[in-house]
Structure 1
Amino acid sequence: MAIIATISGFLFGFDISSVSSFVDQPQYKEFFHSPDSLTQGGITASMAGGSFLACLICGYVVDKFGRRPIIQASSLFWLIGCAIQCSSRNVAQLIVGRIVSGYGIGFASSTVPVYVSELAPKRIRGRLGGLFQFSLTVGSTSMFFIGYGCSFIDGPASFRTAWGIMMVPGVLLLLGTFVLSESPRWLAKHGRWEEAIDIISKVQAGGDVNHPDVVLEVEEMRESIEIENMNAKLTVLDLFKKDSIRRTLVGVFAQIWQQLTGNNVLMYYIVYMFKMAGFSGNTALVSSSIQYVLHCVMTLPAFYILDKWGRRKSLLIGSTGMGTCLLIMSILLGVYSTPLENISASATVRITVNNKHVSRTIIAIAYIFVAFYSPTWGPGIWLYCSEIFPTSQRGIASSFCAACNWIFNFALAMFVPSAFRNITWRTYIIFMTFCFTMTVHVFLLFPETKGRTLEEITMMWDSKVPAWQSSKWVPPVLNPSTIEEVVDTLKEDEKKDSVGVHQEYVETKE
Structure 2
Amino acid sequence: MTYEDKLVGTAGKIKNFFDRFPKIYNVYFICSISTISGMMFGVDISSMSAFIGTTQYRDYFHAPNSDMQGFITSAMALGSFFGSLACSFVSEPLGRRISLFLCSFFWMVGAAIQSSSQNVAQLIIGRFISGFGVGFGSTVAPVYGSELAPRKIRGFIGGLFQFSVTLGILVMFYVCYGLHFINGVGSFRIAWGLQIVVGLFLFFGVFILPESPRWLAKHDYWDEAEEVVAKIQAHGDKSNEDVMIEVSEIKEQLLIDEAAKSVTYLTLFNKKYWVRTVTAMFAQIWQQLTGMNVMMYYIVYIFQMAGYTGNSNLVASSIQYVLNTGMTVVALFLLDRVGRRPVLLTGAVLMMIFQFAVAGILATYSKPVDSVDGDTTIKIMIPAANKAAARGVIAMCYLFVCSFATTWGVGIWLYCSEIWGENSIRQRGAALSTAANWIFNFAIGMYTPSSFKTITWKTYCIYATFCACMFIHVLFFFPETRGKRLEEIAQMWDEKVPAWKSNHWTPSIPIVNDDMLERKTEIKHLENESSGNSAEEIAEKA
TM-score w.r.t. the length of structure 1 is 0.95
Residue equivalent to 1:180: 209
1:480-507 CA-to-partner distances (Å, cap 9, x unmatched) read 5xxxx72233246644899xxxxxxxxx
State the partner residue of 2:259. 230
Shift of 1:342: 6.3
Tell me, what secondary structure is at the counterpart of 2:48? coil
Q: Residue in 2 aligned with 1:202?
A: 231
Letter in 1 for 2:417: S
Partner of 1:372: 403
Aligned pairs (5 A) from 1:248-287: 248-287=277-316
Match of 1:489 in 2: 516
8 Å contact kept, 1:261–1:431: yes
Aligned residue number for residue 540 of structure 2: none
Q: Sort the Cα spacing of 1:98 and 1:296 in 2 relative to 1 into closer, same or farther, 3 A.
A: same
Q: Secondary structure at the match of 1:18?
A: helix
In angstroms, what is the RMSD of aligned CA positions?
1.5
Partner of 2:276, secondary structure, is helix
Q: CA deviation at 1:216?
A: 0.8
- Please tell me whether residue 101 in structure 1 is matched to residue 130 in structure 2: yes
Contact 2:304 2:372 in 1 (8 A): no
Amino acid at match of 2:355: L
Query: C-alpha offsets along residues 157-194 of structure 1, whole Å, 9 cap, x if unaligned?
Result: 00001101111110001110000000000111111111
- For residues 2 and 344 of structure 1, the distance between their equivalents in structure 2, rounded to whole angstroms, comes to 43
The match for 2:412 is 381
Using the size of structure 2 for normalisation, the TM-score is 0.89
Separation in 2, partners of 1:8, 1:248: 24
Runs of 4+ in structure 1 over 2 Å off: 341-346, 485-498
Contact preservation (8 Å) 1:232, 1:392: no
2:370 & 2:230 partners in 1: Cα distance?
67
Give per-residue Cα distances to partners, 1:92-125, cap 9 Å, x unaligned.
0000000000011000000000000000000000
Match of 1:156 among 175, 185, 189: 185
Aligned counterparts, 1:100-139, within 5 A? 100-139=129-168
Question: Percent identity over the alignment?
Answer: 50
CA distance in 1 between counterparts of 2:337 and 2:406 reads: 12
Aligned residue in 2 for 1:79: 108
Q: Which amino acid aligns with 2:393?
A: I
Find out whether 1:314 has 2:343 as its counterpart. yes
The one-letter code sitting in structure 2 at the alignment partner of 1:386 is S
Residues 361-510 of structure 1 mapped to structure 2, 5 A cutoff: 361-389=392-420, 390-478=422-510, 480=511, 486-491=513-518, 494-495=521-522
SS in 2 for 1:181: coil
Corresponding residue SS for 1:375: helix
Q: How far is 1:144 from its partner?
A: 1.0
Which has the larger displacement, 50-59 or 408-417?
50-59
Are the equivalent residues in 2 in contact too, given 1:218–1:486 (CA < 8 A)?
no
| Equivalent residues of 1:60, 1:395 under 8 A apart | no
* Matches of 1:155 and 1:341, distance apart in 2: 27
Distance 1:394 1:458, change over 3 A: same
Q: Which runs of 5+ in 1 are unaligned?
A: 499-510
The count of aligned residue pairs is 493
- Within 5 Å, give how 1:265-344 maps onto structure 2: 265-341=294-370
Deviation readout 1:416-436 (Å, 9 max, x if unpaired):
000000000000000000001
In the aligned structure 2, how far is the partner of 1:454 from the partner of 1:342?
53
User: Quick one: which amino acid aligns to residue 488 of structure 1?
Assistant: D
Q: Distance in 1 between matches of 2:270 and 2:524?
A: 30
Question: What is the alpha-carbon distance in structure 1 between the residues aligned to residue 236 and residue 522 of structure 2?
Answer: 28
The answer as to whether partners of 2:371 and 2:379 remain within 8 angstroms in 1 is no
Give the drift of 1:260.
Answer: 0.3
Contact in 1 for aligned 2:113/2:126 (Cα 8 Å): yes
Within 2, Cα distance between the matches of 1:444 and 1:102? 34
C-alpha distance after superposition, 1:374-414 (max 9, x if no partner): 02111111111110111100111100100000000000001
2:441 alignment partner AA = N
Q: Which moved more, 1:205-214 or 1:437-446?
A: 205-214
Q: Equivalent residue for 2:533?
A: none
Letter in 1 for 2:280: G
Contact 1:215 1:486 in 2 (8 A): no
AA at the equivalent of 2:508: P
Equivalence for 1:501: none
Counterpart position of 2:15: none
Structure 1 residue corresponding to 2:195, chosen from 163, 166, 186: 166
